Amino acid sequence: MQGSNLLLVSLSQSDRDLLQPGLKRIHLEQKQVLFRSGDVIHAVYFPLTAIVSLVVELSTGEMIEAAMVGRDGVLGAASALDGRISLSLAIVQLAGDAMAIDVAGLKTAALQSESLLSILIRHEQTVYAQAQQSAACMAAHHVEARLCRWLLRARDLSGTDTLMFTQEFLAEMLGVRRTSVSIVAHVLQQAGMIKYSRGRIEILNVEGMRETACECYATVNAHYAALLGAHKV
C-alpha cells in the first residue's frame, strides 16, 4: 500500500488508537539526518514513502549501511524500550513522508499494550538480523550481487521501479569504491536489467535482478515474514 506504513496498518485498532494522538505526518528530505551515533533519540519515525538507512560511520569518513528501513518498519523504536542512545547514524536515502511520534508518547502507549510492545521488540529483532546479514554479505558476496540485493530492497520499500540514487551514494552504502559501482551498473545495464543515467536508476528486469542478487535479499525478507508476518512490502 503506497503511502502507508505497513507496521502501523498491521496493528490492532486498539493499538492504533493508543498511538494516534501522538502521531503527526512530516516530510523527510534526502540526506536528512534523523539521529547520529551517540545521540539521545527524541522522536520515532514510521516511514510512509521515505526510506532511511542505518549506517556505521568510520573514522576515515566512510559510511557503510547496516540496515534499510522504509514503509515496512520504524526508526528509533528501541528508544521506547529504554534504548535512548542511538548506536548508528540514521540518514534519509529517499525523500518522502513519515509519521513521527515523540519517544515519551510511544513508550506510554507500549506500556499500556502488550501486543504493541511485542511488535516493537520483534521489529528491533528484524533490524538486528538485517545488520548481521549485511555484515555477512559484505564479507562473502560480489559487488554485483550485493548491488542487485540493495536495489531490490529499495524498490520494495519505495513501491516504484525508478530510484533516484547517485553512484557515489550507492558506493557509500555498499562500502565500495565508486568505480566498482560504475562497472557493475554498466554490466547490469548491458544485460538489460537496469537503465541508469544521471542519478536515476530504472529497474527493467525484476526477475533477472532477483536471480543475480545474493541470498541475503531473500533471507532478510524471510526474517521479516517470520517476525512480522502480519505485513509484507
Q: Which residue bears the cell 516493537?
A: 120
- For the chain, domains (ranges, CATH) are 6-138 (2.60.120.10), 142-213 (1.10.10.10)
Q: Which three cell numbers stand for residue 192?
A: 538489460
**CA torsion sign, 164 to 169 to 174 to 176?**
positive
β 63-69/51-57 pair status = antiparallel
Q: Tell me the one-letter amino acid at 2.
A: Q
Task: Name 35's bridge partners.
Answer: 90
Q: What is the 3-state secondary structure (H, E, C) of 93-147?
A: EECEEEEEEEHHHHHHHHHHCHHHHHHHHHHHHHHHHHHHHHHHHHHHCCHHHHH
In terms of phi and psi (left: phi > 0; alpha: psi -120 to 50; beta: otherwise), the region of 198 is left
> Tens-digit pLDDT profile for the chain (233 aa)?
457 899 999 999 999 999 999 999 999 999 999 999 999 999 999 999 999 999 998 888 888 899 999 999 999 998 888 878 898 999 999 999 999 999 999 999 999 999 999 999 999 999 999 999 999 998 899 999 999 999 999 999 998 999 999 999 899 889 899 999 999 999 999 999 999 988 899 999 999 999 999 999 999 999 988 888 744 45
